Amino acid sequence: MDSLTEAQKKAFAAANRRLGLDDFHFTDTGVRRRSPDGTVVFSSDPNESHVPPHIIEVNSIAHLNKLIGCQDDAEYDDYPEPNQEATHQAVRRARSKAHLRKLLSDETKGNIRRAAVAYLKGDPKKVEDYEEAINATLFPTRVAAFTGSDLNVANHTTHKITGKDPVALNYGTITVGANAEIKVEVDANITAQAFLQK
């Protein structure tokens, strides 16, 4: 963190606060396991993760949007067609999340997922008619948070972001070495005040 400007430190602290952590609380202390091939796993599953995750319970799309701090992107344009009344009725009739999934067509479920992504990446007001369906089908969920001062992906190694739940990383600096990669296999939000590639 010493190499960051005061403005960058404040931005890091703000992202940590959104995740429910103290300004400079680091969940990643730098002590971690590695796979035999050198891969480091950041997973929402604590048994799989080489770095212990900080698990956050998330009850709504609005809460998720607050956690990951997305700004409305005026250029984002992948919005689904307006939600149908039949979807609202199915949400009200469903006895459980599993029952609701049976009541909805694959196309409708796809539109709900598109609306959730649009809510996070675009203008939430443009998909507010989907909010009830998003919350009923995709929530509650969990987010695994990883925070630290510096994340160094050594030369010729991989850092894998995986798991069944979304993942949020907040680091002061992320440095990726030669022929190294960050492999993202799950919905993830990565925040770094400085991103360097060697």
* Per-residue model confidence as pLDDT tens digits over 143-169: 999 999 999 999 999 999 999 999 999
pLDDT of residue 36: 85
Clarify whether residues 83 and 32 are in a common domain. Answer: no
pLDDT of residue 71: 67
pLDDT of residue 31: 65
Residue 150 lies in a domain: yes
Identify the domain boundary among 92, 118, 138.
138
pLDDT of residue 69: 64
Q: Hunting for tokens 């919005």 — which residue is that? A: 79
Residue 180 lies in a domain: yes
Domain count, the chain: 2
Among 195, 194, 197, smallest CA distance to 9 is for: 194
Residue 184 lies in a domain: yes
Residue 1 lies in a domain: no
Residue 52 lies in a domain: yes
Residues in the chain, pLDDT under 50? none
Q: Hunting for tokens 């809510």 — which residue is that? A: 119
Clarify whether residues 107 and 119 are in a common domain. Answer: yes
Clarify whether residues 133 and 73 are in a common domain. Answer: yes
Provide the CA 63 distance to its chain's centre, in angstroms: 12
In what order do the strands lie in the sheet containing 158-162?
A: 40-43, 158-162, 181-184
Which residue range forms the structural domain that includes residue 180? 6-57+141-197
Is the pTM value of this prediction over 0.95? no
